[in-house]
Amino acid sequence: MPYAVLRGLGAHLPSRRVTNAELATLFETSDEWITTRTGIRERYWAPPGQSTGDLATEAGRAALKSAGLDDGAEVGLLIVATTTPDHLCPGTAPDVAARLGLGHAAAYDIAAVCSGFVYALEAAANAIEAGRVERALVIGAETYSTILSPNDRTTSVIFGDGAGAVVLSCGAGDEPGRLLGFDLGSDGTGKDLIRIPAGGSRQRSSGLPAAEDDQYFTMQGKKVFAHAVRRMSDSSLAVLESVGWSADDVAHLVGHQANLRILRAVAEQLGLDAGRAVANIDRVGNTSAASIPLALADAAAAGTFRTGERLLLTAFGGGLTWGSAALTWPDIVPV
């Protein structure tokens, strides 16, 4: 039986760095207010003309290089997880695949908001283990700056843009980098907690014009906080049980970088000390589907992970959706 193994890791951030001090000139806020509530000190926003597909292409190219793949045609599947596609139609993935030289590889988007990368990772791993493809490229990419309301301080200080990518391929069952198990879930009764009201068929079929603010991202922060902690904690425990690990076996928790307080609360629920929870939210903000691969790339570049260590990934997003994954860390160098 083929197993899905992590072979390459890449990341890309746009050039525009946005500090809390800059946001304080745009909103009634301060560096202290933002940092205390979110743990974020800066984030990156795409300059005019740069799209999600552009960021995804750069991250994908970096991941291919990390995996030692000079010829993108060796990849049989591309999945792009994003909430901010280049267009409502068509999907962003086919264009990214063409730009990366993936030939006629299958390519599609996944829209599971901040859980999107874990969902995409599970789908790609399944395709490899079913023998349908030998290699897959999974990208989480976002340009949240394009959907943030200029009148909403709460969301504008949280979200950033960026992209992260991984290459998976067939490997041995005992090989470092193997993806061992997943847990995914959803609860559509909470669909209104995180959403963009306008733009889809629900609003357009109403026959009524969209209100100006309805085109922007909205979030009910307090309710989302409680759901995020509970869902990520429960999902993490479920995947640990499925692979036969205890919390003590986990060397590093790499959670969706939603909020520093959420990350710490999840670690506490799992009985992990804060030092085992990877965090780069202070430097990049909440990058939604890109947050886990960006956190992996940052930590790997810093030498945080050792080959063979056991990692737990977990995320929560709109939908509501959530998901977790267990893997061992491979001997790779991120680009």
Query: Hey, is 256 helix, strand or coil?
Result: coil
What is the sign, positive or negative, of the torsion defined by CA atoms of 166, 170, 171, 173?
positive
- C-alpha closest to that of 188 among 97, 112, 254, 136: 112
In the DSSP assignment, the letter for residue 223 is H
Q: Please report the beta strands in the chain, taking only residues with DSSP state E, as ranges in sequence order.
A: 3-12, 16-19, 42-45, 77-81, 106-110, 135-143, 161-171, 179-186, 194-195, 218-219, 252-255, 310-317, 321-328
Instruction: Check: CB of residue 168 under 8 Å from CB of residue 63.
Output: no
Task: Give the tokens for residue 177.
Answer: 């980098």
Tokens of 332: 């790779």
Helix (H, G, I), strand (E, B), or coil: what is residue 42?
A: strand
Active site amino acids: 114, 256, 286
Q: Identify residue 86 by its one-letter amino acid code.
A: D
d(C-alpha 298, C-alpha 301), whole Å: 5
- What are the distances in angstroms from CA 141 to CA 162, 261, 318? 6, 23, 16
